[in-house]
A and B are shown apart, each in its own frame.
Chain A
Amino acid sequence: MKKVMGASFEKFRTPEVKRMERRLFLRQGLSLGALALLTGCAITEEEKIQNVLMRMSGWNDDVQGWLFSSNRLAPEFPESRITKPFPFNAYYSEEEVIDVDGGAYKLELGGMIKERKPWTLPELYALPQVSQVTRHICVEGWSAIGKWSGVRFSDFLQRVGADTSAKYVGIQCMDDYSTSIDMATALHPQTQLSFKYADQILPPKYGFPMKLRMPTKLGFKNPKHIAAIFVTNEYPGGYWEDKGYNWFSGS
Chain B
Amino acid sequence: MAPEVVKVHPPIVRIAHWLNALAVLVMITSGWRIYNADPLFDFSFPDQVSLGGWLAGALQWHFAAMWLFVLNGIVYVAYGILSGHFRRKLLPLSPLGVLRDIAAAFRGKLAHDDLTVYNAAQRAAYLGLIFLLMVLVLTGLVLWKPVQFHWYGQYIGDYEGARLLHFFAMAGVGLIVAVHVAMVALVPRTFPSMITGRIRRSV
Within 8 A of A (CB), among B18-63: 34-35, 37-38, 40, 55-57, 59-61, 63
Distance in angstroms between the alpha carbons of A114 and B80 in the assembled complex? 59
Given that A72-B148, A251-B147 are contacting pairs, would A143 and B60 also be in contact in the complex, using a CB cutoff of 8 Å? Answer: no
Choose among A143, A243, A251 the residue with the greatest number of B CB atoms under 10 Å from its CB.
A251
A-B residue pairs in contact (CB < 8 Å), sample of 13? A52-B64, A54-B60, A56-B63, A57-B64, A60-B63, A68-B148, A72-B150, A74-B150, A138-B38, A139-B59, A140-B38, A143-B159, A251-B146
**Closest A residue, CB atoms, query B146:** A251
The answer to whether B145 touches A244 (Cβ under 8 A) is no
Known A-B contacts A67-B145, A245-B56, A246-B59; the reply to A75 vs B150 at CB < 8 A is yes
Roughly how many angstroms separate A139 CA and B55 CA in the complex, as a whole number? 9
Contacts of A69 in B (CB 8 A): 148
Q: How far is the CB of A128 from chain B (nearest CB, A)?
A: 25
- A177 in contact (CB, < 8 A): no
Q: How far is the CA of A72 from the CA of B147 in the complex (A)?
A: 7
Whole-angstrom distance between the Cβ of A168 and the nearest chain B Cβ: 20
Q: Is B158 an interface residue (CB 8 A)?
A: yes
Which one of B34, B56, B145, B159 lies within 8 Å of A250 (CB-CB)?
B145
Q: Is the contact region of chain B dominated by helix, strand, or loop, or is it mixed? A: helix
Give chain A residues whose Cβ lies under 8 Å from the Cβ of B191.
Answer: none
Check: A146 CB closer than 8 A to any chain B CB.
no
The answer to whether A243 and B38 touch across the interface, beta carbons within 8 angstroms, is: no
How long is the Cα–Cα vector from A172 to B135 in the complex, in angstroms? 40
Interface residues of chain B, those whose CB is within 8 Å of chain A, are 34-35, 37-38, 40, 55-57, 59-61, 63-64, 67, 145-148, 150, 154, 158-160, 163
**CA–CA, A52 to B67, complex, Å?**
13
Residues in A neighbouring B67, C-beta threshold 8 A: 56
Within 8 Å CB of A246, what residues of B? 59-60, 63
Give A30-74 as 1s and 0s: 1 = Cβ < 8 Å from B's Cβ atoms.
Answer: 000000000000000000000011101100100010011100111
Bound-state CA distance A68–B159 (Å) is: 17
Residues of B within 8 A of A138 (CB): 38
The 10 closest A-B pairs by CB, nearest first: A56-B64, A141-B38, A244-B56, A140-B37, A53-B60, A140-B38, A251-B147, A74-B147, A142-B38, A245-B56
